[in-house]
Amino acid sequence: MAKKGKYEKTRTSAAKKAVRKSSVQTAKRGRGGVTALVVGLVLVAAAFGGLYLWGVRLVKGDTIYPNVRVAGVEVGGLTVAAARGEVEQAVADAYASNTLEVRLPDRTLAFDPEQTNVALDGEAAIAEALAFGRSDGPVQAVLNYVSSKNKPHDVELETALELDTDYIRALIAQTEKETRMEARNSKAEVSADQRSIVVTKGAPGRFLDTDGLYEAVYGAFQSGDFTPLQWDYVEVPYVEAELSRYYDTLASEVQDAYYDEENHEIVEGTSGYSFDLQAAQSRLEAAEYGSQMTITLEEIEPEIDKETLTAKMFGEKLESRSSPYVNNANRTENLRLACEAINGTILNPGEVFSFNGVVGERTAEKGYKPATIYGGDGESVDGVGGGICQVASTIYYTTLYMNLEQVMREPHMYQVTYVPPGMDATVYWDSGLDYKFRNNRENPIKIQANVDGGYVNITFWGVEENDNYVEMTYQVLETWYDDDEEEVDETQAVGYRALKQSAYQGAKVEAYQKVYDGSGKLLKEKTITSTYKSRPNIYVVGPSEPEIPQEPDPENPWPEDPGLDNPWPDDFWP
User: How distant is the alpha carbon of residue 411 from its chain centre?
Assistant: 55
The answer to whether residue 210 is domain-embedded is no
Contact 507, 415 (CB under 8 A): yes
Which residues, in sequence order, are bridge partners of residue 524? 515
Q: How far is CA 342 from CA 51, 157, 347, 349, 380, in A?
A: 119, 106, 11, 18, 27
Enumerate helices (H) and strands (E) in the chain, giving the number of each: 13, 32
Which carries the bigger pLDDT value, residue 60 or residue 116? 116
Amino acid at 465: E
Could you count the other beta carbons within 10 Å of the beta carbon of residue 551?
Answer: 6
Of the residues 159, 181, 203, which one is the last residue of a structural domain? 181
- Rounded Cα–Cα distance for residues 70 and 67 (Å): 10
The answer to whether residue 358 is domain-embedded is yes
Q: φ and ψ at 66, to 5 degrees?
A: -65, 155
Each residue's pLDDT tens digit, 67-101: 887 766 778 878 877 777 777 666 666 677 788 99
Model confidence band, residue 12 (pLDDT cutoffs 50, 70, 90): very low
- Closest listed residue to residue 259, CA positions, set 317, 316, 305: 305
pTM, two decimals, is 0.59
Each residue's pLDDT tens digit, 456-503: 999 999 999 999 999 999 999 999 999 999 999 999 999 999 999 999
Each residue's pLDDT tens digit, 184-225: 999 999 999 999 999 999 999 999 999 999 999 988 887 778
The answer to whether residue 261 is domain-embedded is no
Each residue's pLDDT tens digit, 401-448: 999 999 999 999 999 999 999 999 999 998 889 999 999 999 999 999
Q: What is the domain extent for residue 108?
A: 68-181
The answer to whether residue 523 is domain-embedded is yes
Each residue's pLDDT tens digit, 257-285: 999 999 999 999 999 999 999 999 999 99
The answer to whether residue 560 is domain-embedded is no
Of the residues 181, 209, 233, which one is the last residue of a structural domain? 181
Please, what sign has the CA dihedral across residues 562, 563, 564, 565?
Answer: positive
Which carries the bigger pLDDT value, residue 378 or residue 294? 294
Asked if the model's pLDDT at residue 158 lies above 70, the reply is no
Mean pLDDT in residue range 111-135: 76
Of the residues 163, 181, 199, which one is the last residue of a structural domain? 181
SS3 341: helix
Please count the CA atoms within 13 angstroms of the CA of 524 that sit on its side-chain side: 12
pLDDT at 574: 38
Amino acid at 383: G
- Closest listed residue to residue 537, CA positions, set 499, 506, 491: 499
Contact 398, 466 (CB under 8 A): no
pLDDT at 11: 44
pLDDT at 154: 75
The answer to whether residue 266 is domain-embedded is no
Mean pLDDT in residue range 20-31: 55
- Do 177 and 323 reside in the same domain of the chain? no
Q: Which of 115-119, 350-354, 498-502 has the lowest mean pLDDT?
A: 115-119
Contact 184, 202 (CB under 8 A): yes
pLDDT at 6: 39
Going across the sheet that includes 485-488, the strands are 485-488, 538-541, 497-501
The answer to whether residue 396 is domain-embedded is yes
The answer to whether residue 53 is domain-embedded is no
Each residue's pLDDT tens digit, 353-405: 999 999 999 999 999 999 988 877 778 888 999 999 999 999 999 999 999 99
Specify the number of domains making up the chain: 2
